[in-house]
Protein backbone atom coordinates (compact mmCIF):
# COMPACT_ATOMS: atom_id res chain seq x y z
CA UNK A 1 0.00 0.00 0.00
CA UNK A 2 1.51 3.31 -1.06
CA UNK A 3 -1.18 6.00 -0.86
CA UNK A 4 -1.78 8.21 2.15
CA UNK A 5 -4.88 10.33 1.58
CA UNK A 6 -5.82 13.45 3.53
CA UNK A 7 -9.28 14.98 3.13
CA UNK A 8 -9.62 18.48 4.60
CA UNK A 9 -13.32 19.16 5.01
CA UNK A 10 -12.73 22.83 5.87
CA UNK A 11 -10.99 23.68 2.59
CA UNK A 12 -12.30 20.72 0.51
CA UNK A 13 -8.69 20.05 -0.38
CA UNK A 14 -7.63 16.45 -0.96
CA UNK A 15 -3.95 15.52 -0.78
CA UNK A 16 -2.71 12.11 -1.90
CA UNK A 17 0.90 11.38 -1.09
CA UNK A 18 3.35 8.63 -0.44
CA UNK A 19 3.10 7.18 3.04
CA UNK A 20 5.06 9.22 5.61
CA UNK A 21 8.18 7.31 6.60
CA UNK A 22 7.14 7.04 10.25
CA UNK A 23 4.01 5.07 9.22
CA UNK A 24 5.50 3.00 6.42
CA UNK A 25 6.08 -0.07 8.59
CA UNK A 26 2.81 -0.15 10.52
CA UNK A 27 -0.85 -0.76 9.71
CA UNK A 28 -4.28 -1.16 11.28
CA UNK A 29 -4.51 -0.20 14.94
CA UNK A 30 -0.77 0.48 15.12
CA UNK A 31 -1.19 3.12 12.43
CA UNK A 32 -4.43 4.69 13.66
CA UNK A 33 -3.26 4.96 17.26
CA UNK A 34 0.19 6.29 16.42
CA UNK A 35 -1.32 8.80 14.00
CA UNK A 36 -3.83 10.05 16.57
CA UNK A 37 -1.09 10.26 19.19
CA UNK A 38 1.09 12.25 16.79
CA UNK A 39 -1.41 14.62 15.18
CA UNK A 40 -4.45 15.05 17.43
CA UNK A 41 -4.19 17.49 20.30
CA UNK A 42 -5.01 15.32 23.35
CA UNK A 43 -6.94 18.11 25.07
CA UNK A 44 -9.00 19.06 22.02
CA UNK A 45 -12.76 18.81 21.95
CA UNK A 46 -13.58 15.50 20.23
CA UNK A 47 -16.16 17.23 18.03
CA UNK A 48 -13.99 20.25 17.30
CA UNK A 49 -11.73 21.23 14.44
CA UNK A 50 -8.60 19.71 15.96
CA UNK A 51 -9.79 16.12 16.08
CA UNK A 52 -8.98 13.87 13.13
CA UNK A 53 -10.56 10.62 11.97
CA UNK A 54 -8.42 7.97 10.29
CA UNK A 55 -9.24 4.70 8.51
CA UNK A 56 -6.45 2.13 8.06
CA UNK A 57 -6.58 -1.50 6.91
CA UNK A 58 -4.28 -3.99 8.60
CA UNK A 59 -1.11 -5.61 7.30
CA UNK A 60 -2.95 -8.55 5.73
CA UNK A 61 -6.27 -6.92 4.86
CA UNK A 62 -7.22 -7.49 1.23
CA UNK A 63 -5.12 -10.62 0.79
CA UNK A 64 -6.66 -14.06 0.32
CA UNK A 65 -5.63 -15.12 3.82
CA UNK A 66 -8.54 -16.45 5.84
CA UNK A 67 -10.34 -13.83 7.95
CA UNK A 68 -8.18 -10.94 6.76
CA UNK A 69 -10.87 -8.33 6.24
CA UNK A 70 -10.67 -5.90 9.11
CA UNK A 71 -10.39 -2.11 9.14
CA UNK A 72 -9.26 0.10 12.03
CA UNK A 73 -10.84 3.51 12.63
CA UNK A 74 -9.22 5.97 15.02
CA UNK A 75 -9.79 9.39 16.61
CA UNK A 76 -10.21 11.01 20.01
CA UNK A 77 -13.38 9.54 21.48
CA UNK A 78 -16.37 11.75 22.33
CA UNK A 79 -17.49 9.01 24.73
CA UNK A 80 -14.32 8.49 26.77
CA UNK A 81 -12.33 11.64 26.07
CA UNK A 82 -9.35 9.38 25.32
CA UNK A 83 -7.90 7.66 22.30
CA UNK A 84 -10.06 5.23 20.36
CA UNK A 85 -9.48 2.46 17.85
CA UNK A 86 -12.68 0.82 16.66
CA UNK A 87 -12.48 -2.26 14.46
CA UNK A 88 -14.93 -3.37 11.78
CA UNK A 89 -15.66 -5.92 9.08
CA UNK A 90 -17.54 -5.26 5.87
CA UNK A 91 -16.04 -4.66 2.44
CA UNK A 92 -14.48 -1.22 2.92
CA UNK A 93 -11.09 -2.22 4.37
CA UNK A 94 -10.44 -4.87 1.74
CA UNK A 95 -11.21 -2.39 -1.05
CA UNK A 96 -8.83 0.17 0.47
CA UNK A 97 -6.02 -2.36 0.64
CA UNK A 98 -6.56 -3.62 -2.91
CA UNK A 99 -6.42 -0.01 -4.12
CA UNK A 100 -3.08 0.54 -2.42
CA UNK A 101 -4.44 2.96 0.17
CA UNK A 102 -2.55 2.80 3.46
CA UNK A 103 -4.79 5.30 5.25
CA UNK A 104 -7.47 7.94 4.76
CA UNK A 105 -7.46 10.91 7.14
CA UNK A 106 -10.45 13.22 7.55
CA UNK A 107 -9.74 16.58 9.18
CA UNK A 108 -11.22 20.02 9.55
CA UNK A 109 -14.85 21.13 9.77
CA UNK A 110 -16.70 22.74 6.86
CA UNK A 111 -18.34 26.13 7.21
CA UNK A 112 -21.42 24.96 5.29
CA UNK A 113 -24.32 23.53 7.25
CA UNK A 114 -24.83 20.52 5.01
CA UNK A 115 -23.56 16.98 4.61
CA UNK A 116 -21.14 15.61 2.07
CA UNK A 117 -20.14 12.36 0.41
CA UNK A 118 -16.45 11.60 0.03
CA UNK A 119 -16.03 9.42 -3.06
CA UNK A 120 -12.82 7.46 -3.59
CA UNK A 121 -11.84 5.73 -6.85
CA UNK A 122 -8.54 4.53 -8.25
CA UNK A 123 -8.06 7.85 -10.02
CA UNK A 124 -9.59 10.47 -7.78
CA UNK A 125 -11.03 11.56 -4.44
CA UNK A 126 -13.96 13.95 -4.68
CA UNK A 127 -16.26 15.70 -2.21
CA UNK A 128 -19.85 16.22 -3.25
CA UNK A 129 -23.17 17.04 -1.64
CA UNK A 130 -24.92 14.15 0.05
CA UNK A 131 -28.22 13.15 -1.58
CA UNK A 132 -30.88 15.11 0.30
CA UNK A 133 -33.02 12.04 0.94
CA UNK A 134 -30.21 10.33 2.91
CA UNK A 135 -30.18 12.99 5.63
CA UNK A 136 -32.02 11.63 8.64
CA UNK A 137 -32.51 8.33 6.84
CA UNK A 138 -31.75 5.01 8.53
CA UNK A 139 -28.57 3.24 7.48
CA UNK A 140 -30.24 0.33 5.70
CA UNK A 141 -32.13 2.56 3.28
CA UNK A 142 -29.32 5.08 2.92
CA UNK A 143 -26.89 2.35 1.85
CA UNK A 144 -29.38 1.31 -0.83
CA UNK A 145 -29.63 4.89 -2.08
CA UNK A 146 -25.85 5.29 -2.22
CA UNK A 147 -25.20 1.96 -3.91
CA UNK A 148 -27.90 2.77 -6.48
CA UNK A 149 -26.05 6.00 -7.20
CA UNK A 150 -22.43 4.85 -6.96
CA UNK A 151 -22.61 1.16 -7.83
CA UNK A 152 -24.02 -1.97 -6.23
CA UNK A 153 -20.59 -3.18 -5.17
CA UNK A 154 -19.34 0.15 -3.80
CA UNK A 155 -17.99 0.05 -0.27
CA UNK A 156 -19.87 2.37 2.07
CA UNK A 157 -18.93 3.87 5.44
CA UNK A 158 -21.89 5.85 6.77
CA UNK A 159 -23.33 7.58 9.79
CA UNK A 160 -26.98 7.31 10.75
CA UNK A 161 -29.20 9.90 12.40
CA UNK A 162 -27.25 9.46 15.67
CA UNK A 163 -24.01 10.50 13.97
CA UNK A 164 -25.73 13.49 12.40
CA UNK A 165 -26.83 14.52 15.91
CA UNK A 166 -23.27 13.93 17.10
CA UNK A 167 -24.37 11.68 19.95
CA UNK A 168 -21.42 10.26 21.85
CA UNK A 169 -22.42 6.62 21.34
CA UNK A 170 -22.87 7.06 17.57
CA UNK A 171 -20.98 4.56 15.43
CA UNK A 172 -19.73 4.33 11.85
CA UNK A 173 -21.57 1.66 9.90
CA UNK A 174 -20.05 -0.27 7.01
CA UNK A 175 -21.83 -2.21 4.29
CA UNK A 176 -21.07 -5.93 4.26
CA UNK A 177 -21.12 -8.11 1.10
CA UNK A 178 -24.94 -8.27 1.20
CA UNK A 179 -25.24 -4.53 1.94
CA UNK A 180 -26.23 -5.20 5.51
CA UNK A 181 -24.50 -3.47 8.39
CA UNK A 182 -21.23 -3.97 10.28
CA UNK A 183 -20.06 -1.31 12.65
CA UNK A 184 -17.03 0.36 14.08
CA UNK A 185 -19.21 0.43 17.13
CA UNK A 186 -17.52 1.66 20.23
CA UNK A 187 -16.36 5.08 21.35
CA UNK A 188 -18.57 7.45 19.37
CA UNK A 189 -16.53 7.74 16.18
CA UNK A 190 -19.76 8.28 14.24
CA UNK A 191 -20.11 11.59 16.09
CA UNK A 192 -16.62 12.59 14.97
CA UNK A 193 -17.53 11.80 11.37
CA UNK A 194 -20.76 13.73 11.82
CA UNK A 195 -18.89 16.74 13.20
CA UNK A 196 -16.97 16.85 9.93
CA UNK A 197 -20.26 16.81 8.01
CA UNK A 198 -19.42 13.56 6.26
CA UNK A 199 -22.59 11.55 5.73
CA UNK A 200 -20.74 8.74 4.02
CA UNK A 201 -17.50 7.68 2.40
CA UNK A 202 -18.00 5.66 -0.77
CA UNK A 203 -15.16 3.61 -2.23
CA UNK A 204 -15.08 2.03 -5.69
CA UNK A 205 -12.18 -0.37 -6.26
CA UNK A 206 -12.76 -0.88 -10.00
CA UNK A 207 -9.37 -1.29 -11.62
CA UNK A 208 -7.59 -1.94 -8.33
CA UNK A 209 -4.35 -3.89 -8.78
CA UNK A 210 -4.79 -5.94 -5.64
CA UNK A 211 -2.44 -6.36 -2.72
CA UNK A 212 1.20 -6.90 -3.78
CA UNK A 213 2.95 -9.90 -2.23
CA UNK A 214 6.73 -10.21 -2.36
CA UNK A 215 6.94 -13.99 -2.01
CA UNK A 216 3.72 -15.54 -3.28
CA UNK A 217 4.67 -19.18 -2.76
CA UNK A 218 5.73 -18.62 0.82
CA UNK A 219 2.53 -16.64 1.42
CA UNK A 220 0.37 -19.37 -0.08
CA UNK A 221 2.03 -22.01 2.09
CA UNK A 222 1.67 -19.95 5.29
CA UNK A 223 -1.93 -19.06 4.48
CA UNK A 224 -2.75 -22.74 4.10
CA UNK A 225 -1.22 -23.52 7.51
CA UNK A 226 -3.08 -20.61 9.06
CA UNK A 227 -6.41 -21.75 7.64
CA UNK A 228 -5.73 -25.25 8.92
CA UNK A 229 -5.39 -23.88 12.46
CA UNK A 230 -8.73 -22.09 12.15
CA UNK A 231 -10.50 -25.13 10.72
CA UNK A 232 -8.97 -27.43 13.34
CA UNK A 233 -9.62 -25.52 16.55
CA UNK A 234 -13.02 -26.45 18.04
CA UNK A 235 -14.03 -22.87 18.83
CA UNK A 236 -13.25 -21.36 15.41
CA UNK A 237 -14.42 -24.36 13.38
CA UNK A 238 -17.42 -25.57 15.38
CA UNK A 239 -18.61 -23.53 18.36
CA UNK A 240 -18.99 -20.01 17.00
CA UNK A 241 -19.63 -21.27 13.48
CA UNK A 242 -22.76 -23.12 14.58
CA UNK A 243 -24.00 -20.91 17.42
CA UNK A 244 -22.32 -17.54 16.85
CA UNK A 245 -20.80 -15.58 19.70
CA UNK A 246 -24.08 -16.10 21.53
CA UNK A 247 -22.87 -19.58 22.43
CA UNK A 248 -21.36 -17.75 25.39
CA UNK A 249 -24.69 -17.12 27.16
CA UNK A 250 -24.99 -20.61 28.57
CA UNK A 251 -21.24 -20.96 29.09
CA UNK A 252 -21.04 -17.76 31.14
CA UNK A 253 -24.23 -18.56 32.99
CA UNK A 254 -22.81 -21.91 34.05
CA UNK A 255 -19.57 -20.18 35.07
CA UNK A 256 -21.48 -17.67 37.21
CA UNK A 257 -20.20 -14.74 35.17
CA UNK A 258 -23.34 -13.76 33.23
CA UNK A 259 -24.23 -10.33 34.64
CA UNK A 260 -27.91 -10.26 35.53
CA UNK A 261 -30.11 -7.34 36.60
CA UNK A 262 -27.46 -4.67 36.14
CA UNK A 263 -24.61 -6.80 37.48
CA UNK A 264 -26.35 -7.95 40.67
CA UNK A 265 -25.52 -11.62 40.17
CA UNK A 266 -23.78 -13.86 37.69
CA UNK A 267 -26.38 -16.51 36.95
CA UNK A 268 -30.08 -16.76 36.14
CA UNK A 269 -32.55 -19.58 35.59
CA UNK A 270 -33.72 -18.63 32.08
CA UNK A 271 -30.46 -17.95 30.24
CA UNK A 272 -31.10 -20.69 27.67
CA UNK A 273 -34.14 -18.76 26.42
CA UNK A 274 -31.74 -16.22 24.90
CA UNK A 275 -28.72 -18.50 24.35
CA UNK A 276 -26.93 -19.45 21.16
CA UNK A 277 -28.43 -22.90 21.01
CA UNK A 278 -31.95 -21.47 21.12
CA UNK A 279 -31.02 -18.73 18.65
CA UNK A 280 -29.65 -21.22 16.11
CA UNK A 281 -32.63 -23.55 16.50
CA UNK A 282 -34.94 -20.57 15.90
CA UNK A 283 -33.12 -19.54 12.73
CA UNK A 284 -33.09 -23.11 11.42
CA UNK A 285 -36.82 -23.48 12.01
CA UNK A 286 -37.56 -20.17 10.26
CA UNK A 287 -35.22 -20.52 7.30
CA UNK A 288 -32.62 -17.99 8.42
CA UNK A 289 -28.84 -18.31 8.08
CA UNK A 290 -27.21 -19.54 11.30
CA UNK A 291 -23.73 -19.11 9.79
CA UNK A 292 -22.52 -16.19 7.70
CA UNK A 293 -19.34 -14.18 7.15
CA UNK A 294 -19.15 -10.43 7.71
CA UNK A 295 -16.53 -10.04 4.97
CA UNK A 296 -15.11 -12.00 2.06
CA UNK A 297 -12.70 -14.75 3.09
CA UNK A 298 -14.18 -15.41 6.51
CA UNK A 299 -14.10 -19.14 7.24
CA UNK A 300 -15.30 -18.94 10.85
CA UNK A 301 -18.65 -17.45 9.80
CA UNK A 302 -19.81 -16.54 13.31
CA UNK A 303 -22.38 -14.05 11.98
CA UNK A 304 -25.89 -14.98 10.87
CA UNK A 305 -29.12 -13.75 9.33
CA UNK A 306 -31.67 -13.70 12.12
CA UNK A 307 -35.19 -13.71 10.67
CA UNK A 308 -38.74 -13.25 11.94
CA UNK A 309 -41.50 -15.86 12.08
CA UNK A 310 -42.24 -15.27 8.38
CA UNK A 311 -38.60 -15.75 7.43
CA UNK A 312 -37.95 -12.03 6.83
CA UNK A 313 -34.48 -10.70 7.64
CA UNK A 314 -34.14 -8.73 10.87
CA UNK A 315 -30.45 -8.42 11.68
CA UNK A 316 -26.91 -9.78 11.23
CA UNK A 317 -24.01 -9.78 13.61
CA UNK A 318 -26.47 -10.58 16.37
CA UNK A 319 -23.79 -10.70 19.03
CA UNK A 320 -23.60 -12.14 22.51
CA UNK A 321 -22.90 -8.76 24.10
CA UNK A 322 -26.07 -7.11 22.79
CA UNK A 323 -28.21 -10.15 23.54
CA UNK A 324 -26.77 -10.34 27.06
CA UNK A 325 -27.34 -6.64 27.79
CA UNK A 326 -31.03 -6.61 26.92
CA UNK A 327 -31.49 -10.24 27.92
CA UNK A 328 -29.87 -11.16 31.21
CA UNK A 329 -28.84 -7.67 32.28
CA UNK A 330 -32.23 -6.03 31.59
CA UNK A 331 -34.17 -9.28 32.20
CA UNK A 332 -35.85 -9.36 28.78
CA UNK A 333 -36.21 -12.98 27.63
CA UNK A 334 -37.59 -12.39 24.14
CA UNK A 335 -35.02 -13.03 21.39
CA UNK A 336 -37.20 -11.52 18.67
CA UNK A 337 -37.60 -8.26 20.54
CA UNK A 338 -33.86 -8.14 21.23
CA UNK A 339 -33.22 -8.73 17.51
CA UNK A 340 -35.47 -5.82 16.54
CA UNK A 341 -33.66 -3.63 19.07
CA UNK A 342 -30.33 -4.66 17.57
CA UNK A 343 -31.60 -3.74 14.12
CA UNK A 344 -32.81 -0.36 15.36
CA UNK A 345 -29.37 0.35 16.86
CA UNK A 346 -27.73 -0.53 13.53
CA UNK A 347 -30.21 1.50 11.51
CA UNK A 348 -29.98 4.65 13.62
CA UNK A 349 -26.20 4.17 13.99
CA UNK A 350 -25.38 3.65 17.66
CA UNK A 351 -23.19 1.26 19.63
CA UNK A 352 -25.44 -1.65 20.50
CA UNK A 353 -23.40 -2.36 23.64
CA UNK A 354 -23.46 1.09 25.22
CA UNK A 355 -27.12 1.65 24.34
CA UNK A 356 -28.33 -1.70 25.67
CA UNK A 357 -26.29 -1.42 28.86
CA UNK A 358 -27.85 2.03 29.24
CA UNK A 359 -31.30 0.40 29.16
CA UNK A 360 -30.29 -1.44 32.33
CA UNK A 361 -29.36 1.90 33.88
CA UNK A 362 -32.82 3.26 32.98
CA UNK A 363 -34.33 0.27 34.77
CA UNK A 364 -32.00 0.79 37.71
CA UNK A 365 -33.27 4.36 37.95
CA UNK A 366 -36.90 3.23 37.88
CA UNK A 367 -37.65 4.94 34.58
CA UNK A 368 -38.99 1.70 33.06
CA UNK A 369 -39.62 -1.66 34.75
CA UNK A 370 -37.15 -4.53 34.73
CA UNK A 371 -37.85 -6.93 31.89
CA UNK A 372 -40.14 -4.56 30.00
CA UNK A 373 -38.97 -5.18 26.45
CA UNK A 374 -41.57 -2.99 24.80
CA UNK A 375 -40.64 0.00 26.96
CA UNK A 376 -36.96 -0.59 26.19
CA UNK A 377 -37.69 -0.66 22.47
CA UNK A 378 -39.67 2.57 22.68
CA UNK A 379 -36.72 4.25 24.40
CA UNK A 380 -34.35 3.11 21.67
CA UNK A 381 -36.71 4.46 19.01
CA UNK A 382 -36.51 7.89 20.68
CA UNK A 383 -32.93 8.19 19.41
CA UNK A 384 -34.13 8.33 15.82
CA UNK A 385 -36.65 11.05 16.71
CA UNK A 386 -33.96 13.22 18.27
CA UNK A 387 -36.04 13.87 21.38
CA UNK A 388 -34.30 14.91 24.60
CA UNK A 389 -34.82 11.37 25.93
CA UNK A 390 -33.41 9.91 22.73
CA UNK A 391 -30.37 12.14 22.84
CA UNK A 392 -29.70 11.16 26.45
CA UNK A 393 -29.83 7.46 25.60
CA UNK A 394 -27.79 8.03 22.44
CA UNK A 395 -24.93 9.33 24.54
CA UNK A 396 -24.65 6.03 26.40
CA UNK A 397 -24.83 4.49 29.84
CA UNK A 398 -22.66 7.03 31.68
CA UNK A 399 -24.84 9.94 30.50
CA UNK A 400 -28.04 8.12 31.46
CA UNK A 401 -26.62 7.50 34.92
CA UNK A 402 -25.73 11.15 35.40
CA UNK A 403 -29.09 12.42 34.19
CA UNK A 404 -31.10 10.06 36.41
CA UNK A 405 -28.89 10.17 39.48
CA UNK A 406 -27.98 6.48 39.35
CA UNK A 407 -24.86 5.35 41.18
CA UNK A 408 -24.85 1.75 39.92
CA UNK A 409 -23.57 2.51 36.43
CA UNK A 410 -21.27 -0.12 34.87
CA UNK A 411 -18.74 2.00 32.96
CA UNK A 412 -15.01 2.64 32.89
CA UNK A 413 -13.73 5.88 31.39
CA UNK A 414 -17.31 6.59 30.35
CA UNK A 415 -17.72 3.42 28.26
CA UNK A 416 -20.13 0.63 29.19
CA UNK A 417 -18.82 -2.63 30.65
CA UNK A 418 -20.00 -5.55 28.53
CA UNK A 419 -21.17 -9.07 29.12
CA UNK A 420 -18.77 -10.56 31.68
CA UNK A 421 -18.85 -9.93 35.41
CA UNK A 422 -15.36 -8.90 36.55
CA UNK A 423 -15.86 -10.53 39.96
CA UNK A 424 -16.35 -13.93 38.32
CA UNK A 425 -13.96 -13.41 35.38
CA UNK A 426 -11.18 -11.42 37.02
CA UNK A 427 -8.81 -11.34 34.08
CA UNK A 428 -11.27 -9.46 31.91
CA UNK A 429 -12.03 -7.16 34.85
CA UNK A 430 -8.40 -6.03 34.76
CA UNK A 431 -8.74 -5.41 31.03
CA UNK A 432 -11.87 -3.32 31.59
CA UNK A 433 -10.05 -1.26 34.20
CA UNK A 434 -6.78 -0.62 32.41
CA UNK A 435 -7.26 -0.63 28.62
CA UNK A 436 -6.83 2.83 27.12
CA UNK A 437 -10.08 2.24 25.22
CA UNK A 438 -12.50 2.38 28.14
CA UNK A 439 -14.27 -0.81 29.22
CA UNK A 440 -13.71 -3.13 26.25
CA UNK A 441 -13.63 -6.93 26.41
CA UNK A 442 -11.97 -7.16 23.00
CA UNK A 443 -8.91 -5.25 24.21
CA UNK A 444 -7.66 -8.27 26.17
CA UNK A 445 -10.13 -11.14 26.07
CA UNK A 446 -9.17 -12.96 29.27
CA UNK A 447 -12.44 -14.90 29.06
CA UNK A 448 -10.59 -17.18 26.63
CA UNK A 449 -8.22 -18.41 29.32
CA UNK A 450 -10.32 -17.80 32.44
CA UNK A 451 -13.44 -19.60 31.19
CA UNK A 452 -12.75 -21.39 27.90
CA UNK A 453 -9.26 -22.56 28.98
CA UNK A 454 -7.72 -21.46 25.70
CA UNK A 455 -4.05 -20.57 25.81
CA UNK A 456 -3.75 -21.91 29.35
CA UNK A 457 -5.82 -22.10 32.53
CA UNK A 458 -6.00 -19.17 34.92
CA UNK A 459 -8.60 -19.38 37.70
CA UNK A 460 -11.23 -16.71 37.00
CA UNK A 461 -12.17 -16.38 40.68
CA UNK A 462 -8.70 -15.73 42.10
CA UNK A 463 -6.13 -13.02 41.67
CA UNK A 464 -3.23 -15.31 40.87
CA UNK A 465 -2.06 -15.08 37.27
CA UNK A 466 -4.70 -12.63 36.10
CA UNK A 467 -2.52 -9.51 36.08
CA UNK A 468 -0.07 -11.24 33.75
CA UNK A 469 -2.93 -12.67 31.70
CA UNK A 470 -4.58 -9.31 31.06
CA UNK A 471 -1.22 -7.67 30.33
CA UNK A 472 -0.15 -10.31 27.83
CA UNK A 473 -3.51 -10.44 26.08
CA UNK A 474 -3.70 -6.66 25.74
CA UNK A 475 -0.25 -6.69 24.14
CA UNK A 476 -1.20 -9.54 21.81
CA UNK A 477 -4.52 -7.92 20.90
CA UNK A 478 -2.91 -4.61 19.95
CA UNK A 479 -0.72 -6.58 17.56
CA UNK A 480 -3.58 -8.70 16.13
CA UNK A 481 -5.66 -5.55 15.59
CA UNK A 482 -2.78 -4.27 13.46
CA UNK A 483 -2.74 -7.34 11.19
CA UNK A 484 -6.22 -6.82 9.75
CA UNK A 485 -7.27 -10.18 11.11
CA UNK A 486 -10.54 -10.83 12.90
CA UNK A 487 -9.73 -10.96 16.59
CA UNK A 488 -11.33 -14.40 16.85
CA UNK A 489 -8.28 -15.92 15.16
CA UNK A 490 -6.73 -15.58 18.63
CA UNK A 491 -8.69 -18.63 19.81
CA UNK A 492 -6.75 -20.79 17.37
CA UNK A 493 -3.33 -19.16 17.52
CA UNK A 494 -3.28 -19.21 21.33
CA UNK A 495 -3.58 -23.01 21.28
CA UNK A 496 -1.93 -23.96 17.98
CA UNK A 497 1.67 -22.78 17.83
CA UNK A 498 1.99 -23.26 14.07
CA UNK A 499 -1.10 -21.12 13.54
CA UNK A 500 0.63 -18.21 15.27
CA UNK A 501 3.85 -18.79 13.34
CA UNK A 502 1.87 -18.97 10.11
CA UNK A 503 0.41 -15.53 10.84
CA UNK A 504 3.92 -14.10 11.18
CA UNK A 505 5.08 -15.99 8.10
CA UNK A 506 2.26 -14.48 6.01
CA UNK A 507 3.30 -10.95 6.98
CA UNK A 508 6.94 -11.76 6.23
CA UNK A 509 6.07 -13.25 2.85
CA UNK A 510 3.81 -10.34 1.90
CA UNK A 511 6.30 -7.60 2.71
CA UNK A 512 9.64 -9.38 2.38
CA UNK A 513 10.36 -9.13 6.10
CA UNK A 514 11.86 -11.40 8.73
CA UNK A 515 9.75 -10.63 11.79
CA UNK A 516 9.87 -12.89 14.83
CA UNK A 517 7.41 -13.53 17.63
CA UNK A 518 9.36 -11.03 19.75
CA UNK A 519 8.84 -8.38 17.08
CA UNK A 520 5.09 -8.96 17.22
CA UNK A 521 5.16 -8.57 21.00
CA UNK A 522 7.19 -5.38 20.69
CA UNK A 523 4.66 -4.04 18.19
CA UNK A 524 1.81 -4.64 20.63
CA UNK A 525 3.70 -2.94 23.44
CA UNK A 526 4.49 0.08 21.27
CA UNK A 527 0.82 0.50 20.33
CA UNK A 528 -0.30 0.42 23.95
CA UNK A 529 2.40 2.88 24.98
CA UNK A 530 1.28 5.31 22.27
CA UNK A 531 -2.34 4.99 23.41
CA UNK A 532 -1.52 5.36 27.11
CA UNK A 533 0.69 8.34 26.31
CA UNK A 534 -2.16 10.09 24.50
CA UNK A 535 -4.55 9.47 27.38
CA UNK A 536 -2.01 10.73 29.90
CA UNK A 537 -1.61 13.95 27.93
CA UNK A 538 -5.41 14.20 27.74
CA UNK A 539 -5.55 14.21 31.55
CA UNK A 540 -6.04 10.56 32.46
CA UNK A 541 -4.24 9.13 35.48
CA UNK A 542 -4.06 5.74 37.16
CA UNK A 543 -7.16 6.75 39.11
CA UNK A 544 -9.11 6.33 35.86
CA UNK A 545 -8.04 2.68 35.67
CA UNK A 546 -10.60 1.55 38.21
CA UNK A 547 -13.92 -0.29 38.23
CA UNK A 548 -17.08 1.21 39.78
CA UNK A 549 -17.21 0.72 43.53
CA UNK A 550 -20.35 -1.42 43.48
CA UNK A 551 -18.17 -4.30 42.30
CA UNK A 552 -17.00 -4.52 45.91
CA UNK A 553 -20.34 -6.26 46.56
CA UNK A 554 -20.43 -10.06 46.46
CA UNK A 555 -21.52 -11.63 43.18
CA UNK A 556 -23.61 -14.80 43.45
CA UNK A 557 -23.28 -17.72 42.93
CA UNK A 558 -19.57 -17.65 43.85
CA UNK A 559 -19.92 -14.66 46.20
CA UNK A 560 -16.63 -13.24 44.98
CA UNK A 561 -15.79 -9.53 44.98
CA UNK A 562 -13.53 -7.25 42.98
CA UNK A 563 -10.63 -7.34 45.39
CA UNK A 564 -7.60 -6.05 43.47
CA UNK A 565 -5.76 -3.22 45.16
CA UNK A 566 -4.86 -0.06 43.28
CA UNK A 567 -1.23 -1.12 43.34
CA UNK A 568 -2.06 -4.50 41.82
CA UNK A 569 -4.16 -2.94 39.06
CA UNK A 570 -1.33 -0.58 38.21
CA UNK A 571 0.95 -3.59 37.62
CA UNK A 572 -0.94 -4.52 34.43
CA UNK A 573 0.94 -1.91 32.40
CA UNK A 574 4.27 -2.46 34.10
CA UNK A 575 6.26 -3.14 30.95
Q: What is the pLDDT of residues 7-63, one digit of tens each?
A: 999 999 999 999 999 999 999 999 999 999 999 999 999 999 999 999 999 999 999
Contact 28, 70 (CB under 8 A): yes
- pLDDT class of 295 with cuts at 50, 70, 90: confident
Tens of pLDDT along 488-513?
899 999 999 999 999 999 999 999 99
Q: Is the pLDDT of residue 1 over 70?
A: no
Q: In this structure, are residues 67 and 300 in contact, taking their beta carbons and an 8 Å threshold? A: yes
Mean pLDDT, rounded, for 115-137? 97
How many whole angstroms separate alpha carbon 568 and alpha carbon 464?
A: 11
Residues 6+ apart with CB under 8 A from 517: 500, 501, 504
Instruction: Say if residues 266 and 555 touch (Cβ distance below 8 Å).
Output: yes
Confidence bin at 239 (pLDDT 50/70/90):
confident
CA distance 250 to 241: 16
Whether the pLDDT of residue 296 is over 90: the answer is no
Range 554-572 average pLDDT:
98
Backbone torsion region of residue 453, taken as left when φ is above 0, otherwise alpha when ψ lies between -120 and 50, otherwise beta: left
Query: Using CA atoms, how far apart are residues 48 and 96, in angstroms rounded to an integer?
Result: 27
Best CA proximity match to 418, nearest among 332, 555, 320: 320
Return d(Cα 565, Cα 324) in angstroms, integer: 29
Taking only the tens place, the pLDDT of each residue in 481-491 is 999 998 889 99
The answer to whether 532 and 538 are in contact (CB under 8 A) is no
Q: Does the predicted model carry a pTM greater than 0.85?
A: yes
Is the pLDDT assigned to residue 237 strictly greater than 90?
A: no
Amino acid sequence: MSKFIRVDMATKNVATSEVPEKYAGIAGRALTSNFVADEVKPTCHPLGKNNKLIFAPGYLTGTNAANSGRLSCGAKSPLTGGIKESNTGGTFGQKMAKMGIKAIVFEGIPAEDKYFIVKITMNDVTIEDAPAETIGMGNYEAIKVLQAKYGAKAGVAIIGPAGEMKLSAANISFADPESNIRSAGRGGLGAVMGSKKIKAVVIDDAGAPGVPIVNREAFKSAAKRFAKALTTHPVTSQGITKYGTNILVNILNEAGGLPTENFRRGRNEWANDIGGETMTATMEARGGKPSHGCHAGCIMRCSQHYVDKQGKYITSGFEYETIWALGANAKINDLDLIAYADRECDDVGVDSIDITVAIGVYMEGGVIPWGDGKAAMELIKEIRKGTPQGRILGCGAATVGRVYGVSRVPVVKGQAIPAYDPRAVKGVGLTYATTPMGADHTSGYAVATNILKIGGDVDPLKKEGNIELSRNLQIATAAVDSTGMCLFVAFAILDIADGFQALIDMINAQYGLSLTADDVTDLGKSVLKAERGFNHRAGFTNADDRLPEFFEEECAPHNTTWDFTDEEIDEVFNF
